[in-house]
Amino acid sequence: MSEIREKTKAIVAKGKALGADEVVAQTSFGRYRQIRFSNNQIDISTAWNTYITDVHLGWKKRFVGTEIQDFQNTDKVMKNLVKLAKVSKENPTYGGLAAGNFAYKKPSADTKIRDFENPTEHVVEALEAARREVGDDVNVGGTLFARYEDVHLVSSEGPTGTDARSSIELSVRAFSQRDASGHGVECSSSLKDFNPAKAGEKAGRIAKLAQNPKQGKEGRYSIIFDPLIFGSLLGTWGSMASAYYVMIKFSVFTDKLGEKVASDNVTLRDKPASYSVANRAFDDEGVPLQENVIIKHGTLNTLLHNTSTAKVFKTKTTGNAGLVSPRTWNIEMDPGDFTQSELFSQVKRGLYLTNTWYTRFQNYATGDFSTLPRDGIFLVENGEVTQSLKDLRLSDNALRLLKQIAGISKERQHVRWWGFESVTPALAPYVLAEDIQMTKPT
Amino acid sequence: MDKDLVDFSLEYARKKGAEYAEARANTTKREELVVKNGTLDAYVSSVDSGFCVRVLLDGGIGFASSNRWSKEEAKAVVETAVKFAKAAKRRERISFADETGVEAQWHVEEKQKIDDIQSESKIDEVMTIEKELTAQKIKIPGRILSCQTALIDKYFVNSEGSRIRSYLPRIAAYALITVVENGKPEQAFKMFGHSSGWEAFQEWKMADVLLHEAKMLQRLIKEGKPVKPGKMDLVCGTEVTGIAAHESCGHPIEADRILGREMSQAGRSFIYQGGPFWVGTRIGNDMVTIVDDPTVKNSYGYYEYDDEGIKARPRYLYKNGRIDEFLHNRETAAKLDTRSNGSSRSINYNREAIVRMANTFLQPGGWSEEEIIEDVKQGVYMKSFTEWNIDDRRFNQRYVGREAYLVENGELKHPIAKPIIETTTKTWWSSVDAISKEVGYDAATCGKGDPMQGMPVYTGGPVIRLREVYVK
């Protein structure tokens, strides 16, 4: 591994020798394994290995980047990159790279994930759990994805770090009838906390409950969001906290720092915790990751920054580089006071939504959007699920939805799956929001 | 690209017992520049090169890839793919529809070679658009202009004797703008894409298109009124027709969805064996014929052979109002006892090829746009869209207008703010009663696959009229 670090250092040194003002290089050796399954059988097992060094450099406020594969043609690539910088245009908002010598948390990646050769037994476990819920007629599909990355970062401005990142994610969808399905996920940074049967069981349980759905009715509802659907929305709000999106007005949080943007009970954090599938030690400038409270008791507390956006906003980096655009790592919503069953008991007549996809905005500045709930959609009466429904669309406003949150559960789940619009995972509770618009096709 | 190593990988896979094997290599030279609010944010230039091996063995499929070009790595890649195929232990064995090997070379001409255009010229051209956009008296506080080029060198071989080399230059650009008037923001997104040389960049006339968008949004804020909800005629511009063709015809007709392989991601389809919709079932009016055609010259979704080495051809998805032909790769074709129609695509060497659209469009009719509007007593002309989505069976969909106008007695009136149609696939295509003569195309990136493979496509169609549909 020290050889990789030395080669990465040499790339940075080369950039400096060629006249760059600052250079950062990040070498990742990634090992990825995936099993895709459908109709209760494995469709394909896939492996891909990547050996990549991402290099970015600044020269007189010009900022350029490239990739070097497996340390091939390094000198030529660096010469071309510096040449590109010299014909590029000055970016007055470029604020350089973070400077300093930082200490990082010790990597806690699970080497058992690295050594995975063919984890089909986890798929079988999930399939069987779904079958136990639904019976032999169940039709199950999904994806198991394992990732292990060794990362070495070297910056001419001081930061030098080594990281190892691991994650395992299982996404399971079960059908009990053609139009009755449920979805469960299991996401973890290590195998010891990974329980594939839990995802299969949830998918099967919801699929069974979703049988014989009736056409839902348009109207305004109290809605209980499952952690899976709310986690998807958390990622969307998290992305909008990136200073980059605020600068281009593609955020509901533009000009709202210090203002009320959500109910008092809402606190959202970007927290790159060790349990998360997005665990890592430093950002793309080499700044140690930190916890940032985006919304504190309903008030917009901070945007997410890299060094450049921080200078524009006259603040400090929050450790969220993205060299061009600040990124979120892992959005957590603070737990509330209700148990899951207490939250359901708050609802006289409402809906329980378990999953969604295809979230699209009319206008990112105002937040008008719609999203399509899928898998179980349930009518809730006096705290109980009384009917499975179908063909409803949540059509409301992202800022208004934050303000309509009336209850949050104590229980939370770490979630991410293919249908998230943002790649950011979340730690999401069950959430009750009042008076939310649902529409249907005519 | 080391072709010998690709050939070696194929031979090694055969030696390891693969019943079918293929090796595919991609070398892609990419450039992207992004101008944010008038400043060049970043210019990224890179070359990505690697290879993959896919094997069919004991009824299972294994796939492995790497960007390390060495014999040891190639052996490891093959051995992993073989091991994975064996581990599948499927009850139903996967097979591929029959094909014979083909040797071919193809490429797309560049009138102005992308490699010959200096970086500073590319920057200057984008900056010129930025200047034209901001020279007007329109407040546009949020602006992103991006230009991307990809020069894709590909080599495909398989154990049936296929050997195909190709060179595909692609160029794309997109713009996001936020216009503010009286403190109110409105937004537009426009994308452009060709398979060609740099000449496309001038052909797009991006500055004109974006200025039209900016002026339109400004007027929409000043003069836009909501529509009175109810049944009315809806005239759809080519952009709206195109997205509907893509979402409610192209996607549900993908055979892998129909067979359930995408069930846990992009979903299944309202078309399925034993269900109410299958080949021959009526889905729209007689005049509705939707084609997916990879061979549209210089289109963003252009290719001559797919990523399984099958010759590309037009596919008639809905024909004269009836479901006609599914999009197939060799695996889905075998399951439905037919032949592949060349719909297998992959975005790079490290992704499996799956069933994808290319350029999906409604075929033209006999009307002029003016005639279509003249014949509307009360309705809305939705020229373009903003928010849209569709369910995972591809039946329940919604499109919200970006540029839209009231139509009264055959005349366009004031802008309509965010008219919405939320309807079903059957209602949409059954309501079409007029189709214009001219087809318009829009470049788009189609999302499908796990991991996600954003695929270049065209959506397209003529101006159409939907009679008596509910608009709100």
CATH number at residue A55: 3.30.2290.10
Chain segment B53-109, per-residue pLDDT in tens: 999 999 999 999 999 999 999 999 999 999 999 998 899 999 999 999 999 999 999
Q: Is A288 found in the same domain as A199?
A: no
Residues A189, A63 share a domain: yes
Query: B439 to chain A nearest CA, in Å?
Result: 26
* Domain end residue (candidates: A209, A225, A253): A209
Same domain, A97 and A43: yes
Backbone CA torsion sign across A280, A286, A288, A294? negative
Whether residues A357 and A274 share a domain: the answer is yes
Q: What is the pLDDT of chain A when averaged over all its residues?
A: 96
Q: A204 with A222, same domain?
A: no
Residue A314 confidence (pLDDT) above 60: yes
**pLDDT tens-digit readout, A167-188:** 999 999 999 999 999 999 999 9
> Which residues, numbered 265 to 304 in chain A, qualify as contacts with chain B under a Cβ-Cβ cut-off of 8 Å?
none
Task: Name A23's bridge partners.
Answer: A57
- Segment A67-94 shows an average pLDDT of 92
Residue of B453, B81, B426, B19 whose CA lies nearest to B266: B453
Which residue bears the tokens 């002029």? B368
- Measured CA to CA in angstroms, residue A200 lies from A140, A167, A248, B16 at distances of 9, 19, 41, 35
* End-to-end CA, chain B: 55
What are the two backbone dihedrals, phi and then psi, of residue B110, each rounded to the nearest 5 degrees?
-115, 115
Q: Which two tokens stand for residue B110?
A: 């560049």
> A1 pLDDT exceeds 70?
no
pLDDT tens-digit map of A201-225: 999 999 999 999 999 999 999 999 9
Q: Does B127 touch chain A (CB under 8 A)?
A: yes
Rounded-to-integer distance, Cα B455 and Cα B301, Å: 8
Give yes or no for B241 touching A (CB within 8 A): no
Kindly state whether residues A111 and A61 are assigned to the same domain: yes
B44: nearest CB among A65, A93, A141:
A65
Phi-psi domain of A258 (left: phi exceeds 0; alpha: psi -120 through 50; beta: other) = left
pLDDT one-digit tens code per residue, B293-330: 999 999 999 999 999 999 999 999 999 999 999 999 99
Report the run of H or E that residue B316 belongs to, with start and end. Answer: strand B315-319
Dist CA A276 CA A278 (whole Å): 5
DSSP structure string for B370-430: HHHHHT-SEEEEE-SEEEEEE-TTS-EEEEEESSEEEEETTEEEEEBSS-EEEEEHHHHHH
Q: Is the same domain home to A228 and A166?
A: no
Mean pLDDT of A342-357: 97
The alpha carbon of residue B320 is apart from the nearest alpha carbon of chain A, in Å, by 24
Query: Beta-carbon neighbour count of residue A293 at 10 Å?
Result: 16
CB B422 within 8 A of CB B388: no
Is residue A76 located within the same domain as residue A188?
yes
Scanning A82-111 for CB atoms below 8 A from B yields: 84, 87-93
CA B72 centroid distance within chain: 37
- Residues of B with CB below 8 A from A393's CB? 389, 396, 398, 422
Do A234 and A322 belong together in one domain?
yes
Residues A93, A224, single domain; the answer is no
Determine the distance in angstroms separating the CA of B272 from the nearest CA of chain A, rounded to an integer: 10
- pLDDT, position A118: 67
Per-residue CA distances from B252 to A187, B269, B270, B344, B399 (Å): 30, 5, 7, 16, 17
Confidence of residue A116 (pLDDT cuts 50, 70, 90): confident
Number of domains in chain A: 2
Strand-pair category, B20-36 with B39-57: antiparallel
- CA gap A349, A187 in Å, rounded: 32
The type of residue at B248 is S
Tell me how many residue pairs between chain A and chain B have CB atoms under 8 A apart: 247
Segment B10-38 mean pLDDT: 96
Interface test with chain A among B119, B177, B264, B270, by most A beta carbons within 10 Å = B264
Q: Which residues of B touch A28 (CB under 8 A)?
A: none
Residue A294: the pLDDT is 98
How far is the C-alpha of B192 from the C-alpha of B214, rounded, in Å? 17
Q: A196 and A289 share a domain?
A: no
Half-sphere exposure of B266 (CA within 13 A, CB side): 29
Give the pLDDT confidence of B207-235 residue by residue, as tens digits: 999 999 999 999 999 999 999 999 999 99
Axis crossing angle, helix A196-209 with helix A120-134, rounded to the nearest 10? 30
Mean of pLDDT values over B343-369: 98
Output the pLDDT for position A70. 85
List the Cα angle A341/A345/A346 in 5-degree steps.
125
State whether A269 and A348 are in the same domain.
Answer: yes
Instruction: Look at residue B378 and tell me whether its pLDDT is greater than 80.
Output: yes
What is residue A173's predicted lDDT score, i.e. its pLDDT? 98
Of the candidates A174, A95, A90, the residue with the CA atom closest to the CA atom of residue A128: A174
Grade residue A425 by pLDDT with cuts at 50, 70 and 90. very high
- Domains of chain B and CATH, by start: 3-223 (3.30.2290.10), 230-471 (no CATH)
Percent of chain A past pLDDT 70, that is, above it, reads 99
Asked if B396 and A372 come within 8 Å (Cβ–Cβ), the reply is yes
- Last residue in a domain, options A209, A226, A249: A209
Domain boundary among A186, A209, A232: A209
Query: What is the SS3 assignment for A309?
Result: helix
Domain span at residue A315 reads 214-439
Q: How far apart, in whole angstroms, are the C-alpha atoms of residue A274 and residue B435?
A: 57
Q: Give Cα B281 to chain centroid, integer Å.
A: 25
Q: Provide the chain B residues 277-336 that lie in CB contact (below 8 A) with chain A.
A: none
Instruction: Summarize pLDDT for A229-272 with one digit per residue, the tens.
Output: 999 999 999 999 999 999 999 999 999 999 999 999 999 999 99
Interchain CB contact of A364 with B (< 8 Å):
yes
Cβ neighbours of B127 in A, within 8 Å: 89
Residues of B in contact with A87 (CB under 8 A): 118-120, 123
Backbone φ and ψ of A145, nearest 5°? -130, 125
